[in-house]
A and B are shown apart, each in its own frame.
Chain A
Amino acid sequence: MTRPDSSATHPPHRHGDTPVTSLLTFLRKPWLWAFIAAAVTFAATAAVTQAGGFGLGMTALTFAAFSVLVGIGQMFVITLGPGNTDLSIPATMTLAGTLALKAMAGDPALIPLGLAIALASGLGVGVLNYALIRLLSIPPIIATLSASFLIQSAAIWSNRGLRVKPPQALADFATGSALGVPNVAVVAVVVAALAWVVLERALAGRRVLAIGQNLRAARLAGVPVDAVRFATYVSCAVLAGLAGFLLASFSGGAALNMGQEYLLMSIAVVVIGGSSIAGGNSNVPGIWGASLFMFLIVSMLNSYGAGAGVRMILTGVIIIAIVAAAGGRKVSR
Chain B
Amino acid sequence: MNRDQLRILLPVVSLAVLLAAVFWLQPRAMSYLGLNLLFNLAVPIALATVAQMMIIMVNDLDLSIGTFVSFVACVTATLVQTDPLLGYLVLAAGIAGYAAVGALIHLRNLPAIVVTLGMSFVWGGLAVLILPSPGGASPEWLRSLMTVKPPLVPMAIVASVLIAVVSHLLIRRSSFGVVLRGVGGNPASVERAGWSVLKARAAAYALAGLFGTLSGMTLVGLTTAADANIALRYTLLSIAGVILGGGEFTGGRVSPVGAVIGALTLALASSFLSFMRLSPDWQIGAQGGILILVLAVRLLVGRGRGRRLAA
* A308 and B125 within 8 A (CB): yes
Quick one: which of B266-307 are within 8 Å of A by CB?
A: 281-289, 291-292, 295-296, 299-300, 302-303
Whether a CB of chain A sits under 8 angstroms from the CB of B153 is no
Q: Across the interface, which residues of A come within 8 angstroms of B289, CB to CB?
A: 146, 149-150
Asked if B122 CB lies within 8 Å of chain A CBs, one says yes
Contacts of A329 on B, CB cut-off 8 Å? 109, 111
> Once the chains bind, are A316 and B287 in contact (CB under 8 Å)?
no
Q: Which residue of A3, A83, A216, A314 is within 8 Å of B311 (Cβ)?
A: A216
Tell me if A204 is interfacial: C-beta within 8 Å of chain B. Answer: no
Q: Check if B117 sits within 8 Å of A264, measured CB to CB.
A: yes
A21 within 8 A of B: no
- A271 with B310, Cβ < 8 A, contacts A142-B243, A264-B117 known: no
Q: Is the beta-carbon distance between A323 and B118 smaller than 8 angstroms?
A: yes
In the assembled complex, the Cα of A149 lies from the Cα of B114 at a distance in Å of 24
| Central interface residue in A1, A136, A160, A327, by most chain B CB within 10 Å | A136
Tell me the bound Cα distance from A332 to B119 in angstroms: 25
CB pair A145–B126 under 8 Å, yes or no, is no
Tell me if A56 counts as interface (CB < 8 A to partner B). no
A149 touches B299 (CB 8 A): no
Q: B191 in the interface, Cβ–Cβ < 8 Å?
A: yes
Cα A317 to Cα B126 in complex, Å, equals 12
* Contact, CB under 8 Å: A136 / B295: yes
A28 on the B face (CB < 8 A): no
Interface status of B1 (Cβ within 8 A of chain A): no
- What is the distance, in angstroms, from A195's C-beta to the closest C-beta of chain B? 21
Q: Is the CB of B115 within 8 A of A323?
A: yes
CB-CB under 8 A from B311, the residues of chain A are 215-216
A153 cross-chain contacts in B, Cβ below 8 A: 281-286, 288
Q: How far is the CB of A135 from chain B (nearest CB, A)?
A: 9
Residue of A nearest to B303 (CB): A137
Measured CB to CB, the residues of A under 8 A from B are 1-3, 82-83, 85, 87, 132, 136-139, 141-143, 145-154, 156-157, 160, 215-216, 219, 264, 267-268, 271, 276-278, 307-320, 323-324, 327-329, 332
Can you give 13 A-B contacts (C-beta < 8 A)? A137-B303, A139-B249, A141-B239, A145-B291, A149-B291, A157-B282, A267-B113, A278-B111, A309-B128, A309-B129, A316-B124, A319-B117, A320-B104
